[in-house]
Amino acid sequence: MPKPINPKDIIGPIPKDKDPQEYDKIRRRLLWAMPSGLYVLGSRFENTRNFMTINWAGQICSSPKLIYVSIEADSLTNFLVEQSGVFTLCFIDKKDRSSIRKFVKPCVFDPNANTLCGHSFSESSIGSPVLDIAFGYLECRVNSIEHLGSHNLFISQILDVEFLDETRQSLMIQDTKMSYGG
């Protein structure tokens, strides 16, 4: 059984010969330099829907096909995914980078226009929203959740995929002026 994380260890040890503030600044800058995709996660539970910009996501197993997503523990999206056990992960083209900022806070659903944060969407076969500007998406079912501190790690199986336009290029966090984590 893994040892529980001590909240004092979340920042990590700082070498004794380093200035703590300068060391943390350098560490954050280096972690921000790690290549990272930028995605929109669609979630729904009962009548509440949401989109959330995330960048901590990736494939972790080829058989079965598993991905991970890391979601802020105190976010609406975390609640929706924990309750429903499913989500969509939408892939966004570089040319649509300006849209990604709309999803950093909980979305307002307009049922008359069928929009979230002013963006049109459809619903996947599992009921989670799919952003209409996405060039592809994954439908996922949560297999397990690791509570890690500020974020929860959702290990999830891919149920279905749609690849709508193979000519598009995935948006990376480095393509924006956004930085997150570290």
Q: Indicate if the pLDDT at residue 76 is higher than 50.
A: yes
pLDDT tens digits for 95-151?
998 898 899 999 999 999 999 999 999 999 999 999 999 999 999 999 999 999 999
The pLDDT value given to residue 177: 74
Share of the chain above pLDDT 90, in %: 67
Ordered by start, the domain boundaries in the chain are 34-175
HSE (side-chain half, CA atoms, 13 Å) at 65: 8
| pTM of the predicted protein model | 0.85
pLDDT tens digits for 51-67?
999 999 999 999 999 99
Beta carbons within 10 angstroms of residue 74's beta carbon: 10
pLDDT tens digits for 29-57?
887 777 788 999 999 999 999 999 999 99
Class level of CATH domain 34-175 = mainly beta
177 burial level (CB within 10 Å; 0-12, 13-18, 19+): exposed
The pLDDT value given to residue 8: 47
Q: Indicate if the pLDDT at residue 158 is higher than 60.
A: yes
Looking at residues 75-101, what average pLDDT do you find?
Answer: 95
Q: Give the DSSP H/E element, type plus range, for residue 81.
A: helix 76-84
Dist. CA 89–CA 123, nearest whole Å: 12
Q: Indicate if the pLDDT at residue 9 is higher than 70.
A: no
The pLDDT value given to residue 16: 80
What's the mean pLDDT when you consider all of the chain?
89
Q: Indicate if the pLDDT at residue 82 is higher than 70.
A: yes
- Tell which wins on pLDDT, 179 or 170: 170
**DSSP characters over 13-35:** ---TTS-HHHHHHHHHHHHHTS-
